[in-house]
Structure 1
Amino acid sequence: MSFDINNDLTVRKLVIFMTFMEKGTIARTAEALNLSGVSVHRALHTLEENVRCPLFTHKGRNLIALPSAWTLLEYCQEMAQILDRGLEEARKVAGVGQGRLRVGTLYSLTLETVPRLIMGMKLRRPDLEMDLTMGSNDMLLHMLQEGSLDAILISISESDIDRNSLEVLPLFHDDIFLAAPASATLNTRELADLRDYKDQKFVALAEGFATYAGFQEAFHIAGFEPEIVTRVNDIFSMLSLVQAGVGFTLMPGRMKKVYENSLQLLKLAEPYQMQQLIAIVFARNREQDPSLRALAAEGRMYARSLQDLA
């Protein structure tokens, strides 16, 4: 490459130049590009300095293109076509603007939140396809950062989100409950003090899931290490084990509608009470992507609908 890094040759100047060559006058060029005549004249003048050869001659108050300008125009047009193709191919590789949105979500959000968002997106952009990937908080965040997902729905905390590079759209806060088998003998009139369940067996999610950190923190406050029978990789398997009487667990409130008749759910006592913040997260440098803007708009509507019900 023979370009001088200090040369102030820009795409803006070349676009103004190509428009001038098409329109023929500074006034018509300024009108077409919504610029002032002074800006157009300055761009053409400095372009000559950058190219380091005369491109125009004056005839009265008009600029007349020299043969050198027509030669440059041919290559500029070719350059513009190549640049357009390059930008389009780059967007394809990045998965932007291809009629497909790759969304990652926690398993627990597939009960209500994700279906509501998908239905809203279908109304906004009927031709858009949505690929859904389910996994743990950590896995989804990693996939977003490496570019294999366009947006994720996860539980967030300030420690695991880089606000400089990621855009965060909060949806709702979710309380954590103690979940027990229907056959267990519990005092349902009192808030659940985890110290009272020191002798019980528990099932839990594996490390990296949204509820894992809260599980660890709650029992740290309670002052004991629970006996964990098994760890699983999705919340539905975990709650099925609780239903079967394998053990107790901690569960986010968004699962209540499905399991409130088959499990006993107790609100935690004050020292152990905690909330998860569920949010849509995507890369800040893609905030102008039409598909992500539609998802964000649908997310805001969904968040408002939950506030109206509160």
Structure 2
Amino acid sequence: MSIDSDITVRKLEIFIAFMARGNLARTAAALGISSVSVHRALHSLEESLRCPLFIHQGRNLVPMPAAHTLWEYSQEALDLLSRGVEEARKTAGMSQGNLRLGTLYSLTLETIPQLIMGMKLRRPDLELELTMGSNKMLLNRLEEGSLDAVLIATSCEQINHAHLETLPLFEDDIFLAAPAASGLDVSKEADLRDFRTEKFVSLDEGFATWQGFREAFAIAGYEPEIVTRVNDIFSMLSLVQAGVGFTLLPGRMKRVYENSVQLLRLAQPYQMQQNIAIVFERSREHDPNLLALVAEGRMYSRQRGAKS
């Protein structure tokens, strides 16, 4: 069944507003139009439907059952249309003034604050929603559409380059972290085979550092004794500080914890890096908010490279 061309979105919006308020004057005030315009739109809608929607009781319009039925479906239809318009704008790179950004916990020490400050200078009205989590969780949320971009270790995940764009930021070495009281010689490289009898703490599966942890000890030829696993890198380092055990961690944590945790470079067989990058949907590459993020990411990468 075809829909009469005179049944417009605007008439349905006026109809929905009237059904919610039940009064011509209140509807007109809410929409910023005259009561006559509201009445005319409702009458025109009835004519286009070829179906009575209201009965007159004095000066009032009283909805009939058909009006309640149309109200229910009209709300669903306009809600769906609104979501479609929003998604179309996103696809065309015309998103609204907020960016849903996902990040690893460890990147909140330096990388994320610098990117956010730079983006706020470029787009002062931009609102950022920050989500922290594991590498795997963040990538899943990006692919399901609940995040607009993520900062993750791309070396630890299978990135679908057919529809995901990556902007490399920096590479980070992995170190052995030991309690300060262990008294190790930090000038020497750590051979993990020498720590077979030590206890370890680690991140849960799905975190970038956990994958490197497994790979390193596979090369060492043994399963370390893991005392506990945690869901963020700061908790893990607190346990190392307290003497609960050793761990492996990325070098970006070194500056904050170098006075309370001993960090040793891994010996040659175990040396590995995390490749940190911004990842986002390729179809959104013209989104102004993502363009600002990419621009700041490139600037951050250049500055970091100049320091190293």
The TM-score, its normalising length taken from structure 2, stands at 0.71
Question: In the alignment, is the contact (CA less than 8 A) between 1:174 and 1:278 conserved in 2?
Answer: yes
Equivalent in the alignment of 1:193: 191
Query: What is the rounded CA distance, in whole Å, between the counterparts of 1:177 and 1:166 in structure 2?
Result: 30
Question: In the alignment, is the contact (CA less than 8 A) between 2:171 and 2:274 conserved in 1?
Answer: yes
- Tell me which amino acid in the other structure corresponds to 1:188: V
Query: What is the rounded CA distance, in whole Å, between the counterparts of 2:83 and 2:181 in structure 1?
Result: 63
The verdict on how the C-alpha distance between 1:275 and 1:101 changes in structure 2, with shifts beyond 3 A counting, is: same
- Tell me which amino acid in the other structure corresponds to 2:87: A
Equivalent in the alignment of 2:101: 103
Give the alignment of 1:177-216 within 5 angstroms: 177-216=175-214
Query: What is the rounded CA distance, in whole Å, between the counterparts of 1:210 and 1:113 in structure 2?
Result: 16
- Tell me which amino acid in the other structure corresponds to 2:112: V
Give the alignment of 1:280-295 within 5 angstroms: 280-295=278-293
Which of 215, 225, 234 is 1:217 aligned to?
215
Question: In the alignment, is the contact (CA less than 8 A) between 1:192 and 1:267 conserved in 2?
Answer: yes
Which of 169, 172, 175 is 1:171 aligned to?
169
Question: In the alignment, is the contact (CA less than 8 A) between 2:240 and 2:246 conserved in 1?
Answer: yes
The verdict on how the C-alpha distance between 1:245 and 1:153 changes in structure 2, with shifts beyond 3 A counting, is: same
Query: What is the rounded CA distance, in whole Å, between the counterparts of 1:177 and 1:85 in structure 2?
Result: 50
Q: Deviations over 1:26-60 (max 9, x none)?
A: xxxxxxxxxxxxxxxxxxxxxxxxxxxxxxxxxxx
- Tell me which amino acid in the other structure corresponds to 2:269: P
Equivalent in the alignment of 1:252: 250
Which of 136, 139, 143 is 1:138 aligned to?
136
Q: Deviations over 1:78-132 (max 9, x none)?
A: xxxxxx9776333479896110000000000000000000000000000000000
Deviates more, 1:171-180 or 1:96-105: 96-105
Query: What is the rounded CA distance, in whole Å, between the counterparts of 1:164 and 1:105 in structure 2?
Result: 22
- TM-superposed CA distance for 1:188, in Å, is 2.7
Equivalent in the alignment of 1:266: 264
Question: In the alignment, is the contact (CA less than 8 A) between 2:136 and 2:157 conserved in 1?
Answer: no
The verdict on how the C-alpha distance between 1:306 and 1:181 changes in structure 2, with shifts beyond 3 A counting, is: same
The verdict on how the C-alpha distance between 1:86 and 1:236 changes in structure 2, with shifts beyond 3 A counting, is: closer
Equivalent in the alignment of 2:86: 89
The verdict on how the C-alpha distance between 1:86 and 1:249 changes in structure 2, with shifts beyond 3 A counting, is: closer
**Structure 1 segments (4+ residues) deviating >4 Å:** 84-87, 91-96
Question: In the alignment, is the contact (CA less than 8 A) between 1:91 and 1:97 conserved in 2?
Answer: no
Partner-residue secondary structure (3-state), 2:181 = coil
Query: What is the rounded CA distance, in whole Å, between the counterparts of 2:83 and 2:258 in structure 1?
Result: 54
Give the alignment of 1:11-22 within 5 angstroms: none
Aligned residue-pair number: 229
Question: In the alignment, is the contact (CA less than 8 A) between 2:200 and 2:245 conserved in 1?
Answer: yes
Q: Does structure 1 residue 118 correspond to structure 2 residue 116?
A: yes
Query: What is the rounded CA distance, in whole Å, between the counterparts of 2:90 and 2:217 in structure 1?
Result: 45
Q: Deviations over 1:216-242 (max 9, x none)?
A: 000000001000000000000000000
In structure 2, the gaps of 5 or more residues are 3-80
| RMSD (CA atoms) | 2.0
Give the alignment of 1:271-310 within 5 angstroms: 271-310=269-308
- TM-superposed CA distance for 1:268, in Å, is 0.4
Query: What is the rounded CA distance, in whole Å, between the counterparts of 1:265 and 1:159 in structure 2?
Result: 26
The verdict on how the C-alpha distance between 1:169 and 1:93 changes in structure 2, with shifts beyond 3 A counting, is: closer
- Tell me which amino acid in the other structure corresponds to 1:162: N
- TM-superposed CA distance for 1:160, in Å, is 1.1
In structure 1, the gaps of 5 or more residues are 3-83
Equivalent in the alignment of 2:74: none
The verdict on how the C-alpha distance between 1:119 and 1:288 changes in structure 2, with shifts beyond 3 A counting, is: same
Give the alignment of 1:58-69 within 5 angstroms: none
Question: In the alignment, is the contact (CA less than 8 A) between 1:166 and 1:283 conserved in 2?
Answer: yes
Partner-residue secondary structure (3-state), 1:214 = helix
The verdict on how the C-alpha distance between 1:291 and 1:169 changes in structure 2, with shifts beyond 3 A counting, is: same
Question: In the alignment, is the contact (CA less than 8 A) between 2:94 and 2:288 conserved in 1?
Answer: no
Query: What is the rounded CA distance, in whole Å, between the counterparts of 2:133 and 2:167 in structure 1?
Result: 19
